[in-house]
Amino acid sequence: SSTPRTTLAAQPHTHRPKIEEQHSCNYTECDSTGSRWRVAIPQNPGACTGLPEPVRGTECTFSCKAGEFLEMSAQECTQCAAGSYSLGSGIRFDQWDSMPAGFSSLATAQEINPHGDDRLTCNSSSWIPQGNYLESNRDECTVSLIYAVHLKKQGSVSFEYQYPDNNLLFEFFIQNDQCQEMDQSAETKWLKLTNHGEWATHTVNLKSGTNILYWRTGGVLMGAKVVKPVLLKNVQIEGVAYTSECFPCKPGTFSQVPGSSTCQPCPRDTYSGHGASSCTPSFVFSEGSAACKDRPPCSKKDYFQIHTACDHEGKTQVIYKWIEPKICLEGVTGADKLPPSGEREPCPPCNPGFYNNDTATCSPCPAGTYSDGTKPCKQCLAGTEPTLGYEYKWWNVLPANMKTSCFNYLVCPLGWEVAGDYIQSGAGSSDNDYLILNIHIPGFKLPTSVSSPSGTEFGRVTFEFETLCTADCELYFMMSTTVVESWQKTKARQSYTHVMTKNASVSYTWAFQRTNQPSDVRRYVNDVARIYTISVSNAVDGVSSGCRVCALSAQPSSSMCVPCPRGHYVDTNQCTECPKNTYLVPDATPGPDACKPCGPASKSDKDHSLCYSDCHFTHTEGNVTLSYDFSPLGSVGSLMNGPSFTSKGTKYFHQFNISLCGGQDHLAVCTDNVTDLSNTDSQREKGEGANTLKTFICQSTIIPASGRGFHTSLSSQSINLAESFVGASVENTLNGIRARPELYPQTSKKVPDVNFYYKSSEMTSSCETGRSAVVTLRCNPEKSTKGELSVPSQCPAGTCDGCTFHFLWESSGACPTCTERDFHRIEGSSLHILALPRSSIIQYTPKLCIGGATLPEKKRVPCEGMEFWIRLGAGLGAFTAILLVSLTCYFWKKNKLEYKYSRLVMSANKECELPGADSCAVMEGENEGDMEDEVVYTKPSLLGKLKAIASKVSLTV
């Protein structure tokens, strides 16, 4: 160990001190004895002359405390000067005006579109410094933020992030110096979604040695949806042996004394620049300001209106207040003044479930009582029970279980403000702030009579809203951190309902953002979102606005409400089971009408919670009945169509899972494994994960691992396409859902297609009545029993309008059951092989059918003798020929005699006349002979002779 090694310890590039302008110093790697050397490193490559000799360095276990740095020339720990700080054995990155040294951003193109469009590149995709944070890409490229650090001891890395949009995939993982990924749990690799505008902290332990840190984003964008980027700030790494220089305080902060381990933010009305030891007095409107700004004249965007609480006289008024902190000037030219307060007006009534007992506030009705908000609370009558929930339609004050806030990269002062008939988004600090309105529901409680849930609905939230925007505003409705639905730009007043399918604590959140573009000013303050009504049913801590009929105990004197078994409704205070093949509507009024009949070819389960197909279907047309048994197809089918490519060439697939037959135990399952990787494999297989969807038909977006940079295939964006089975029919329309047979041309119509109709009540901004789906089952003997699922070629995503999905399931298992009429007899020709007797084959051939009646065996029977029939045919032919010849001769002879007879008659008649000239007589005789010879020579046809005979006979007569 007498000579130093030339391999240098990996340290952050930004922390190497400069002893002289021409070189800096650093330590070599520790040798086997725990020693190391301090060596000089030239600033310019190749300039190796004039460098100081290597000096034995400090022990490898050496480190400095927080607030100190290692001064390399003396190899001693020295306190940081005022205006700077150090973490001792840690490094921190909290300023992102530019990409710090040591960090790199690497973009990787996704799967390339086979059309080979050269424009679809990722050259412009990168993590972008934005001052206080880093912003990820918003496109489909995979972009990695990379940083390498060498730790002398075990340590950790922590950072803050915003991840509000699951259209992007966000993972954090670690590699060693051999580019091998470190062992890491799913909880630390895949980052959890955050609420809009809120920062989350993520911490991962690091091993000693080289650690290469990766923050990786990428997504699949379908449509023109605006994607919210991932934001990253305050990256801190612990476990380095030392820091060789102190970090200067970032603008807006200061450290007043030497040896500081942190910097403090400047107070309000002060600011500081880079590396400040104190703050300078000036006008600024918040803490931690990096510059002094001019105060603009006040305008309408600097104040807001509120309704005062009801006073003892039951009066309220509109007053105006400046937005705090106030950043504008009143007494200057062009400045607006605060408007005067409005007139005192009667307070609106209390919301249902609350009452006003001659006080200034509305109070909730006591348990067991109810009120519509305008009258005192009343006790529910015997045989009834109060309904629980919330219904807000008057907004004089913010309800007690609601909170409003404003988030951006810093917390802003104002969220939503009440305005009497509605609650609307406030001004905020800037146009891209998230204005948050939140209501927390600790759980759900069904009415006593239906306390055993007969379905999957535990409650529902309904709200009426509108948005008025000139920019690219967006209103989000979220359940906890999951975006349920969003609306962009101006939307007319409308209602939206979301069904809660799990009994759990939940926070419903409305978040409004005026623009997605970075902004630190207020330009679109008049762009607002308004909510007119919000109602939540079956809230466990809710109030009562009315009473509901319940079932009473069997005890004659009891007035206690008792739960009904599943599938039962309340009828005259008694539990009555729904009729066969009906299902119980969870939110219906008690009574027989609460049981709705199942559709054609469907039946209800034993709990009357849903309708389903038992795989049997019958169709009668005329006097022919076709019976189908779809059991061979299986209860659940899957289809993965594609691949499809987005505008940047990213390859993705759509996977559809379809539950054809069966009830609750045979539903299709789709799982989002990006945000659900913390669940065990057994949980995911059983469909028990928090992000698992169980329904009749669901869709997932599958992103293959190959070519993406991600290390596993990802399933995300699971969508519920059908939560109820409407029925099966050969008709093309059922309950307003229309099949489109033209999408699947059919060459043969001997066996009709059977359409399975499904419906989802979950509304979207484009499907106001919810989604629907049609699965067409087609008999095709050339396919296997399981068959093949497909989507229309004209609509490769399965839908042409985004609301109705169409599927074709071709299979031999979709053929009707065979019966005797499906067989016909085929006569085979006689065979004469050697000495075998001639015979025929009786063969039965099946038509388009499956199962049922079995095919009879083929039979052989002796052929009947053919010689008899040949002889008979030859005899009949000879007889016919002789008969024709005889008739011909007969008629010819008869024709000749009759002709001569007619000539003789004519000669006899001439004897009574005067004698003619001899020459004439001679000529007459000669002519007669000539004519006679001519008749014989011409040989008229049989038909001609018959005509001649007929004419002569008539002439004779």
**709 near 725, Cβ under 8 Å?**
no
Q: 600 or 10, which is more confident? A: 600
Beta strand 804-811 with 817-818 is unpaired
pLDDT digits (tens, 9 = 90+) for 715-765: 777 888 988 999 999 999 999 999 998 898 876 667 899 999 999 887 777
DSSP structural state of residue 445: -
Q: Which of 293, 289, 294, 285 is nearest to 251 (CA)?
A: 289
Q: Is the pLDDT of residue 109 over 70?
A: no
pLDDT class of 430 with cuts at 50, 70, 90: confident
Q: Which residues face 844 on adjacent strands?
A: 825
Mean pLDDT for 616-638 is: 88
pLDDT at 707: 44
Between 828 and 10, residue with greater pLDDT: 828
Q: How far is C-alpha 726 from the chain's CA centre?
A: 21
- Give the 3-state DSSP-derived string for 604-664, with helices as H, strands as E and coil as C: ECCCCCCEECCCEEEEEECCEEEEEECHHHCCEEEEEEEEEECCCCCEEEEEEEEECCCCH
Which comes out higher in pLDDT, residue 312 or 813?
Answer: 813
pLDDT value for 409: 54
- Residue 237 in contact with residue 149, Cβ under 8 Å? yes
CATH of 402-540, one of 3.30.2020, 3.30.1050, 2.30.29, 2.60.120: 2.60.120
Query: 787 pLDDT exceeds 80?
Result: yes
CA distance 347 to 343: 12
- Across 44-58, 88-102, 645-659, least confident range: 44-58
Nearest residue to 208 (alpha-carbon basis) of 233, 239, 245, 173:
239
At residue 887, the 3 state secondary structure works out as helix
Per-range mean pLDDT, top range of 165-179, 276-290, 373-387, 683-697 = 373-387
Question: What pLDDT score was predicted for residue 408?
Answer: 67
Distance between CA 750 and CA 433 in Å, rounded?
63
- The sign of the CA dihedral 112, 117, 121, 124 is negative
Q: Which range among 53-62, 503-512, 666-675 shows the weakest confidence by mean pLDDT?
A: 53-62
pLDDT tens digit sequence for 356-415: 876 677 889 998 899 998 889 999 888 888 999 999 999 988 898 999 887 765 556 668
Tokens linked to 202:
């993520």
Of 237-251, 581-595, 838-852, least confident by mean pLDDT is 838-852
Cβ-in-10-Å burial (0-12, 13-18, 19+) of 37 comes to buried
Ranges of H-type helices in 673-795: 681-686
Fold type of domain 90-110+123-240: Jelly Rolls (2.60.120)
Give the residue-averaged pLDDT of 783-794: 88
**Backbone φ and ψ of 666, nearest 5°:** -125, 30
Question: Going by DSSP bridges, is the β-strand pair 280-281/270-271 parallel, antiparallel, or unpaired?
Answer: antiparallel
Q: Is 78 helix (H, G, I), strand (E, B) or coil?
A: strand
Structure tokens at 833: 């092989």
The pLDDT value given to residue 597: 94
Domains of the chain, by residue range, sit at 24-50, 90-110+123-240, 295-347, 402-540, 616-672+692-815, 823-830+838-862
**What pTM does this model have?**
0.70
90-110+123-240 and 616-672+692-815: same fold?
no
561 versus 844: which is more confidently predicted? Answer: 561
Q: Which two tokens stand for residue 513?
A: 């953002």
User: Are 101 and 14 within 8 A, CB to CB?
Assistant: yes
Higher pLDDT, 22 or 837: 22
pLDDT of residue 917: 45
Strands 817-818 and 850-852: parallel
pLDDT digits (tens, 9 = 90+) for 177-186: 777 777 666 6
User: Which residue type does 16 have?
Assistant: R
Q: From CA 105, how far away is CA 124, in angstroms rounded?
A: 11
pLDDT of residue 75: 80
Mean pLDDT value of segment 854-871: 64
Tell me the CA distances in angstroms from 679 to 187, 671, 687, 690, 713, one per residue in order.
9, 11, 10, 8, 16
What value does the mean pLDDT take over residues 869-873? 76
**Distance (Å) of CA 308 to CA 301, 394, 828:** 20, 13, 99
Strand partners, 204: 157
Return the residue matching tokens 């329904």.
Answer: 695
Residues above pLDDT 70, as percent of the chain: 77
- Does residue 140 surpass a pLDDT of 80? no
Question: Residue 399 class from Cβ within 10 Å (0-12 exposed, 13-18 middle, 19+ buried)?
Answer: middle
Structure tokens at 232: 């990253």
The whole-angstrom separation of Cα 198 and Cα 511 is 12
pLDDT-derived band of residue 895, with 50, 70 and 90 as boundaries?
confident
pLDDT tens for each residue of 478-494: 887 778 888 989 999 99
- The Cα–Cα gap between 159 and 237 comes to 9
Which CATH architecture is the domain 616-672+692-815 placed in? Distorted Sandwich (2.70)
Identify the CA nearest to 840 among candidates 863, 806, 869.
863
Radius of gyration for the chain, computed over Cα atoms and rounded to the nearest angstrom: 47
Q: How far is CA 248 from CA 95, 108, 236, 323, in A?
A: 10, 34, 15, 34
H/E segment holding residue 189: helix 186-189
More confident residue, 217 or 933: 217
Place of tokens 């009579």: 449
Q: How do strand 724-729 and strand 754-759 relate by DSSP bridges?
A: antiparallel
Buried b (16+ CB within 10 A) or exposed e, 233-269: bbbbbbbbbbbbbbbbbbbbbbbeebbbeebbbbeeb
Picking from 851, 756, 750, the residue whose alpha carbon sits closest to that of residue 809 is 756
Percent of the chain clearing pLDDT 90 (strictly above)? 24
Higher-confidence residue: 50 or 730?
730
**Phi, psi (5° rounding) for residue 835?**
-100, 5
- Cα→Cα distances 563→282, 389, 791, Å: 68, 19, 46
CA distance 596 to 612: 14
**Looking at 537-541, 704-708, 894-898, which range is the least confident one?**
704-708
DSSP string, 720-745: EEESEEEEEESSSEETTEE--GGGS-
pLDDT mean across residues, the chain: 79
Average pLDDT over residues 169-179: 83
pLDDT at 276: 93
pLDDT for 837 beyond 70: no
Nearest 5 degrees, angle CA 79-CA 85-CA 86? Answer: 80
- Distance (Å, rounded) from C-alpha 489 to C-alpha 336? 29
pLDDT of residue 11: 41
Q: Can you give the pLDDT at residue 359?
A: 67
Q: Which residues of 814-935 form beta strands (DSSP E)?
A: 817-818, 823-827, 839-846, 850-852, 859-862
Instruction: Dump pLDDT digits (tens) for 637-688.
Output: 888 877 777 665 667 788 899 999 888 888 899 887 665 444 444 444 444 4
Instruction: Report the distance separating Cα 218 and Cα 224, nearest Å.
Output: 16
Cis, peptide link before residue 704, omega less than 30° from 0: no
Q: Are the C-beta atoms of residues 587 and 457 closer than 8 Å to each other?
A: yes
Give the model's pLDDT for residue 116.
46
What pLDDT is recorded for position 928?
A: 44
